[in-house]
A and B are shown apart, each in its own frame.
Chain A
């Protein structure tokens, strides 16, 4: 447990539907004081931030976006377990004012938990433009919780939400949250059950909520009831009897009756508090855009064009800055070289650190551009459209469109991609998606492509890189089919996904998003890549006196051992060493080459020339293909291990990718030779 502070920390949980603007509220609340970690036991990202108000620290936890507190997806399980098991002082429920009815469905369930709550009525601007007026006071009265109008994209109302939440946490809440009243028949049965279960003193489990959920057939709610039921009371039996009784009365599924009741309550509430001046379709613009972007004939070509544009921009816009960074690194290397005395120290800094780390850091602009575009696609709402478009194609793999979102995110970085499989409902789908996601070429592999295309295919970089990404996708599809047949010959799981209205991503949100990812890259450069560069420099320098990085050095001897493995692919021992160390992180492939070939002269200088001599266009291609396919990095392997919770799948993923890389590279090399490429 955390160290107790003088005054108890206030815990605020942010809950709401996906696309309700919850993340924007979170960003506004916590600003840069965010911390991204993992939820215990699972690799789902857990975002929290600590802010201080009047000398008290307030921990704001961003729960995953959910539609319900059922146990349908892992995100829902995480959110509800957090709310039930942790001492949450206040729930801030972010609600999209332009889509009240559906958003309040979750609200009615949150109310049943009996935790003090503030409803942040977000996007009121949008709602007003739609001609909708909300009587906030009446709304708060009927719900029995605080309601604060907000426009989080402008920062309006967020401070007040926090203020109300804090004062609610202090006073323990003057207003009792009012649960949605179910049908009278259900209410009387609930009252009977509540009378029969007395929770152990001190327990603050939300009994009413557990009973409703158990009636809806929720197994984990039932298990919790079993745990705390008094002797002589069998929850499973009692619930089953009640369930049958009620279904007889209504002649319908109890879940349908309860859902009906919730929407009935919401409908009544909205009739009292919302005045609709005119019916304006909020989706008129979105629907118009979708007739084009989701068009039967145009949809997929447009998607492919956008992907190509992504690589083009990554290459060209990023490239503008790469030249500058490269000259900077080269000049810096030359300056350090002139200042430091000749000898081991100078060699370590220039040949080891600057050649290695510098050789990777110059690609920061490309990586930043790529993440900016991916973040834009995600936040604008296009990602969900891509999933919709690809649903049919994904069915070939026995997956559905939703699996496509983690795959697309894999173009940024495989680790969050593997985390993003949390949105998939079945374990089979998750494992299958996890197995094929590493074939999505991440930004860490980009420096390798940019380096090699710069040497061998100047002027055609975007096309070559696009082809490599396409090859990754094709291999992912083929592998997916193979894995589905071999391991999960079952049917496809249900596909239901919301397509949010198109939105212009906020500047702040994009900056936070991109910063999170690029700072990860920078810290990798400062740690793993730096360490690897130093290790390789040391291996290249001993035994003392040999020519640095030559075949006689220790790294050379190591390389000679591995050379027979890569020789059939037309590569030398330096390539083998680079690929070997690249297992730790793909950027290290480039930094190792910088150390072994480049000797601190910057990419444009020595390294380019040396690569031009050591590789041919054909072996350059082969090298890029191997880099694309084999194990992405240690971090991805660790994520796969955590996420699948199985060594079997982890080892399969590692072994398969190495075997596949070798096979494809071998075939390409031999066929290339046969048809006369060099």
Chain B
């Protein structure tokens, strides 16, 4: 399956994080806040060019549009 950026995932859809690009800082930051490789992400809100609201287990994160381009996801299996 082809990976695509999180920013392309529509509200209500789920996906699995496969890679975080965009440098050391962002990688560590997102991982420590719960958005890490292998995690299932559900997009709650995604409006135009505003920030995205995503759910990872019991965490709700606001992720800037720019950052969401760096998080690569694949469709969930099962």
Please report A residues at the B interface, Cβ cutoff 8 Å: 67-68, 70, 72, 98-99, 101-102, 105-106, 216-217, 253, 255-256, 259-260, 262-263, 282-283, 286-287, 290, 294, 296, 384, 387-388, 391-392, 400-401, 492, 494-501
Contacts and interface: CB of A to CB of B under 8 A. Distances in A.
Interface in B24-74: 24-39, 44-45, 47, 49-51, 53, 55-64, 66-67
20 contacts: A67-B29, A70-B25, A98-B58, A102-B34, A102-B56, A255-B27, A259-B27, A259-B32, A259-B36, A260-B36, A283-B60, A388-B51, A391-B62, A494-B67, A496-B29, A497-B61, A497-B62, A498-B59, A498-B61, A499-B61
B58 A496 contact: no
Given A68-B32, A294-B45, A494-B26, A499 B38 contact: no
Given A495-B64, A499-B60, A263 B38 contact: yes
B75 to A, nearest CB: 20
B20 interface: yes
Task: Name the residue in B28, B30, B56 with the highest tally of chain A Cβ atoms < 10 Å from its Cβ.
Answer: B28
A286 B25 CA distance: 30
B60 A391 contact: no
Contacts of B34: 101-102, 105
Q: Closest 7 CB pairs between A and B?
A: A495-B64, A68-B32, A259-B31, A67-B32, A102-B34, A499-B60, A99-B58
Interface residues of B, number: 37
B32 A105 contact: yes
Given A384-B62, A392-B51, 6 more contacts: A67-B29, A70-B32, A101-B58, A259-B31, A287-B55, A498-B59
Nearest to B24: A217
Interface of B: 19-20, 24-39, 44-45, 47, 49-51, 53, 55-64, 66-67
B5 to A, nearest CB: 15
A494 B67 CA distance: 6
A287 B59 contact: no
B78 to A, nearest CB: 16
Nearest to B26: A494
A217 B29 CA distance: 13
Nearest to A296: B47
A72 B33 CA distance: 12
A205 B71 CA distance: 35
B60 A68 contact: no
Given A99-B58, A494-B66, A72 B28 contact: yes
B38 to A, nearest CB: 7
Given A102-B34, A263-B36, A401-B51, A496 B62 contact: yes
Given A102-B58, A256-B20, A494 B29 contact: yes
B38 A287 contact: no
Contacts of B56: 102
